[in-house]
Structure 1
Amino acid sequence: MAKRERVTDAAYPADESVLVSIITINYNQAELTRQFLDSATTLTYPNYELIIVDNASVQPLSASINLHQYPHVRLIRSEVNLGFAGGNNLGIQEAKGDYFFIVNNDTELSPALLDELLKPFREHEQIGVTCPKIRFFEMPRLVQYAGYNPINLYTGQATAIGYNQADDGQFDKPHTTYFAHGCAMMVSRNVVERVGRFAERFFLYYEELDWSQRIRDAGFLIYYQPTATILHKESASVGQNSPLRTYYLTRNRILFMRRHSTLHQRTIFYLFFGVFVFPKHLLSYLVQGKIKHAKAFVQGAFWHFTATSLSAV
């Protein structure tokens, strides 16, 4: 079998010879992954591989789904739960593509998704990441993501453009954006080779914001491409009301600030978090009787008293 020559200038995919590696993670969600694979069979772009990282699922995915009926699929099993960051890093490590399309398994792909996400790379050599318009699966007229506003480096808050708004065409203009969305993002191999992969310290949540910041710091652009669309069944794996979600959102919000803000910004953030955010959230959880969430919130905040080194990924 002839060895495929990898495109070295991945900023200019000229035709369908460019290989796209679709990378998704399965964690105890075999039925969601099966639905995802069914949607992938509708893709019009022909040259892709689909890597599923089975992230320490209790029942191995191979025992739940006959993967042989789906073309292009490669299964990688991890016996340890590596989280979103580590699971995707494992997929990237094994991927052969010129582009990595990192996508949640709780999504349904539109046929022209890959074709549309590749287009901006041809038009501007600085583009390192492209993202589709993300809409909610249950309410497909509502937008989840049409780009990101800049993060407030005094409060640690970032908001998605268009979130929960009806899609009436006002989000159909492509543009550069501050952050990619971890649900669906196409990244060139050139970016990974220069910037590195996800910071595994984050494990879950904020890892794509951290990666996006590092990517932009390296001089690349992140681009919102609204002609590419995807439907998202949000937080199917973790759950919107999970204490685990509360823990990592709290911990990693502070972690992002520690990694990317100046001393002046961090000082104001710590004051803001300690005086306003911490007592407000803790009291709210206690009043609602969400004791597990209150405990997770405190643990997420206090993790930083023992974590000193931020350079390890």
Structure 2
Amino acid sequence: MESAQIIRTNMYPLVAVIVLNWNGWKDTIECLKSINNLDYLNYYFILVDNASQDDSLNKIRDFCSGKHVNNPRQDLSKFDWPIDMLEIDCDQLSYIKLDHNRYKNSNRLEKLIIIKNDKNYGFTEGNNIAMKFAVDKLALDYFLLLNNDTIVDQLFLKNMIKSVCEHTNIGFAGPKIYYYMPEEVSNIISFAGGKLGLNSSEPHPIGVDEVDNGQYNTDRIVDYVEGSCMLVSKDLTSEIGFFNPDYFTYWEEIDWCIRGKKAGYHTLYASKASIWHKCYGSDTGARSIYYMIRNRFLFIKENESKGQKFTSLIYYFCYFFWKIFFSLTILHRDKTKLRSFIRGTYDGIKILRTK
């Protein structure tokens, strides 16, 4: 206990790394491979499976046992086999007693806690289940929420923690995110922090599609960071709670960052931390459009003043609605996505009308 306290108060606060898997075992295994190379000495790794139907759990079990998995992107030579696994059904989480020395990692992915959910709880509640478990069982300092379709730089967590420690009142932090390109190391930026206009409810990702020439190499306070990689202070969650599960997926990270800002916490873009994001792992086309549109209205209801609600709705119905409508009808001619867009708008209006 004393040695853990020494580590936590110096360079390496205790981090619970959480990855959510839903029908994506190939990406998840590649993500595990990159986490195995992390240069960080004090973390637990929790993998949450959201009731996958693609045999994900068996594939991940095979991988952790050292068996060959039909995934040509793997480099298995750097793992210490077998990876020690603890599998827990979601309804048994409160009964589990963790051996902290057994499941805490050093600088290798030697041990793995797998939470098996009984249904697809979405991005929000899937991560919430893991975070609540971590708070209950671990004396941690931070959560690191990481999409399964990401690849991390070896130093990214160490650099992100260093940036957070150089600032005050940081509730959230996110890295520089590049597009993942299988054949090369990409320097095309996908995300370098985000700004949000509360008078329009319009998110503005910084740096998107730009070649990285060092223009975003300075840490800065931003309005939100992307949910594909969020470092979250445990102290913040004690004050404002976790993801709002009503979002299910999309807009939940923006809502969380704005709630944190109202409670006095800052959101930090950590410029020296880097990851690569495939940007497709959670995209299901029409389903994505539905939640992105519906949840925009949920965000307006939960976070904006009467005046901001008014201007945001004027912006939506006078500009944004018609922009998307004409794109789906004339440019793409996609009736399925158009129906999802209309249904998301309709259900969003119903959300606004509820008390």
Q: TM-score, normalised by structure 1?
A: 0.90
Deviates more, 1:256-265 or 1:59-68: 59-68
Matched, 1:166 2:211: yes
- Residue number in structure 2 paired with 1:122: 165
- Which one of 9, 16, 19 corresponds to residue 21 of structure 1? 16
Q: C-alpha separation between the residues in 1 aligned to 2:250 and 2:308?
A: 22
- Alignment deviations for residues 237-256 of structure 1 (CA, whole Å, 9 cap, x no partner): 324xx001111111111221
Matched, 1:246 2:289: yes
Q: Which letter does structure 2 place at the counterpart of 1:304?
A: G
Residue 178 and residue 217 in structure 1: after superposition, are their counterparts in 2 closer, same or farther (change >3 A)? same
Q: C-alpha separation between the residues in 2 aligned to 1:36 and 1:154?
A: 37
Q: Which letter does structure 2 place at the counterpart of 1:113?
A: F
Preserved contact between residue 13 and residue 121 of structure 1 (Cα < 8 Å): no
Matched, 1:299 2:343: yes
Structure 1: stretches of 5+ with no match in the other structure: none
- May I ask how many residue pairs the two structures share in their alignment? 303
- Residue number in structure 2 paired with 1:277: 320
- Residue number in structure 2 paired with 1:235: 280
- Residue number in structure 2 paired with 1:182: 227
Q: C-alpha separation between the residues in 2 aligned to 1:171 and 1:274?
A: 34
Secondary structure in 1 aligned to 2:255? helix
Secondary structure in 2 aligned to 1:165? coil
Secondary structure in 2 aligned to 1:130? strand
Residue 142 and residue 181 in structure 1: after superposition, are their counterparts in 2 closer, same or farther (change >3 A)? same
- Residue number in structure 2 paired with 1:153: 198
Superposed displacement of residue 118, structure 1: 1.1
Q: Which letter does structure 1 place at the counterpart of 2:128?
A: N
Q: C-alpha separation between the residues in 2 aligned to 1:182 and 1:42?
A: 22
Map 1:182-221 → 2, pairs under 5 A: 182-221=227-266
Preserved contact between residue 301 and residue 352 of structure 2 (Cα < 8 Å): no
Deviates more, 1:99-108 or 1:276-285: 276-285
Q: Which letter does structure 2 place at the counterpart of 1:122?
A: C
CA RMSD of aligned residues (A): 2.3
- Alignment deviations for residues 66-85 of structure 1 (CA, whole Å, 9 cap, x no partner): 33434231111112111111
Deviates more, 1:57-66 or 1:242-251: 57-66
Residue 176 and residue 28 in structure 1: after superposition, are their counterparts in 2 closer, same or farther (change >3 A)? same
Preserved contact between residue 54 and residue 60 of structure 1 (Cα < 8 Å): no
Preserved contact between residue 13 and residue 118 of structure 1 (Cα < 8 Å): no
Q: Which has the higher Rg, Structure 1 or Structure 2?
A: 2
Q: TM-score, normalised by structure 2?
A: 0.80
Superposed displacement of residue 215, structure 1: 0.8
- Alignment deviations for residues 144-172 of structure 1 (CA, whole Å, 9 cap, x no partner): 111112x1223211111111100011111
Superposed displacement of residue 189, structure 1: 0.7
Residue 310 and residue 184 in structure 1: after superposition, are their counterparts in 2 closer, same or farther (change >3 A)? farther
Matched, 1:104 2:143: no
Q: C-alpha separation between the residues in 1 aligned to 2:230 and 2:142?
A: 10
Q: Which has the higher helix share?
A: 2
**Runs of 4+ more than 3 Å apart:** 2-7, 308-311
Residue 309 and residue 52 in structure 1: after superposition, are their counterparts in 2 closer, same or farther (change >3 A)? farther
Preserved contact between residue 297 and residue 352 of structure 2 (Cα < 8 Å): no
- Alignment deviations for residues 160-216 of structure 1 (CA, whole Å, 9 cap, x no partner): 111110001111111111112101111111011111000111111110000000111
Q: C-alpha separation between the residues in 1 aligned to 2:24 and 2:247?
A: 22
- Residue number in structure 2 paired with 1:92: 131
